[in-house]
Amino acid sequence: MKIYLAGSIFYYGDLLRNLEWAKKIRDAIPGVDLYSPVENTEFNGVEGKKKFGDSQIIADGDNKRLNNTDILIACIDGDIIPAGTSAEIGKFHEKIERGDHKYIIGICTDNRQCYLTHSEAKDLGGSSSLGEQQYSYQNLYVTGLIKQAGVLVSNIDDAIDFIKKVEHEFEIEEKQILYMDENVTIFRDGTHTFKNK
């Protein structure tokens, strides 16, 4: 099973979160093939950021990994969902709509979620004047794409629980695949599928 860990990667807190989550996933699911962009030192990390990678190189590298991923875990924290993460969610959702067997797990750890902190006082205060709303907001289109293709959770442990519920589906698929590359998948029964470019 292949997993892609998406989310903001440019700040120290992002680095710590991504490293912690990658470790938790690997500890919980032995043998998982996990890609976390912060671990790609070719373009990330102190030395990687000194190199020039144009937009097409970055897109090609991420797409190559996304195209061969079973589960996209997307951290959508922040006042605005990171642009790259939103694009990865959209691309992945499109693959699922076209019939690929994949899942998206969105993680929103924001402690201002209305379902956690709802109160009459916050409702009254938030509606009293412009700019006083006390709850977090996530773009509903992106949230909807996540929920259509998987699940939205509030922590990495719930994400891992979801992975464990569906991982057997990918083990069965892997046993049925005889050969796979970027253009074609050939199954043991002789059937095949061509991938669109």
CATH of the domain at 24: 3.40.50.450
Strands 150-153 and 103-107: parallel
Among 20-29, 58-67, 113-122, where is mean pLDDT lowest? 113-122
pLDDT at 134: 64
Higher pLDDT, residue 108 or 187? 108
Q: Is the pLDDT assigned to residue 24 strictly greater than 70?
A: yes
Q: Is the pLDDT assigned to residue 58 strictly greater than 90?
A: no
Instruction: Tell me how many domains the chain contains.
Output: 1
- Cα separation, 149 vs 162, in Å, equals 13
Q: CB-based contacts of 48: which residues, under 8 Å, 6+ apart?
A: 40, 41, 42
pTM, two decimals, is 0.79
pLDDT at 142: 94
Q: Is the pLDDT assigned to residue 193 strictly greater than 80?
A: no
pLDDT at 74: 97
Range of the domain at 153: 2-194
User: pLDDT over 70 for what percent of the chain?
Assistant: 79
Write out the two tokens for 66. Answer: 């996304």
Mean predicted lDDT score pLDDT of the chain: 84
Residues 137-159, buried b or exposed e (16+ Cβ, 10 A)?
A: ebeeebbebbeebbbbbbebeeb
- Residue that is written with structure tokens 């998206």 in the block: 104
**pLDDT digit string (tens) for 80-104?**
888 999 999 999 999 999 999 999 9
Mean pLDDT of 2-24: 91
Higher pLDDT, residue 166 or 137? 166
Cβ burial, residue 61 (10 Å; 0-12/13-18/19+): middle
User: pLDDT over 90 for what percent of the chain?
Assistant: 47
Query: 3-class DSSP state for residue 106?
Result: strand
Q: Is the pLDDT assigned to residue 175 strictly greater than 60?
A: no
pLDDT at 76: 94
